[in-house]
Amino acid sequence: MGLLDGRVAIITGASKGIGRVMSQRFAREGARVVCAARSVKLVEQTAAMIGTVGGRAIAVVADAATEDGARQIVEAGVKAFGKIDTLINNAGDGGPTKPVQEYLEEDWFYTINSCLTSAYMCTRFAVPEMIKAGRGSIVNISSVAGRRGLAYRIGYCAAKAGQVGMTYGLAAELAPYNITVNAIAPGAVEGDRIDRVIAGQAEIRGIPVAEMRRAFIERTPLRRMVQPEDVTALAVFLASDLARNLSGQCIAVTAGEVVG
């Protein structure tokens, strides 16, 4: 018996990284999973991986940052599984690493739309289904970059800070409908994305990549990076009945780094 038996969960950004790991874990916990992403091949792989071990999942190829895409994701979930209980807003591109004077208009709007608009759009269409179901849980995958900042990443910092603010507002607004809303703010999560961020930070500072990586790790008391499974475990908890009285929170998963 899993923590999420009988639940239907939408997970955006499910094609790789945290989203793929999370989709698989949610299925193991008994949820039926709507795996959503823009990449046809990769998101279909995620759904297929779940199916091969006896889980139930569908792949939805759509851009969560658009009205049509977000609607498509929610409608596909309802058509396949009859309802929506949980929304994990995980979609988002990190955007470029650049000084502010070189951060172009297209860089800004691409990053904001990818990370923040996608969360708003999916929430907008998922909430009516949660109200029908009489309960719901929304988890926004933010970042410590939205809490304490990171140089040369202004678009990403702004988008992730926006997700936290949206979490607080939605938690107050949706409480009468028995819908909880929380955010997770991971630190540096092992994987391709943080490798690209570290490489960009090293280049712009003129230092070796290995030195930059050490700086990321040494800022954490536990002296290690976060694993995708660490973020996933917290998301499962927040989506389960164990967290039914936990709402309006932003929880940092940082290997011990204290953030404001």
Phi, psi of 88 (to 5 degrees): -105, 110
The span from the CA of 203 to the CA of 52, in Å, is 42
Amino acid found at 153: R
CA atoms within 13 A on the CB side of 169: 8
Q: Which of 110, 120, 156, 177 is catalytic?
A: 156
Token pair listed for 151: 């140089």
Amino acid found at 182: N
From the DSSP assignment, how many helices (H) and strands (E) are in the chain? 10, 7
The span from the CA of 80 to the CA of 57, in Å, is 9
Secondary structure of residue 252 in the 3-state scheme: strand
Annotation says 156 is catalytic? yes
**How far, in Å, are 27, 94, 123, 206, 245 from residue 116 at the CA level?**
26, 11, 11, 31, 25
CA torsion sign, 115 to 120 to 125 to 128?
positive
The span from the CA of 138 to the CA of 124, in Å, is 11
Amino acid found at 18: I
Catalytic sites, residue numbers: 156
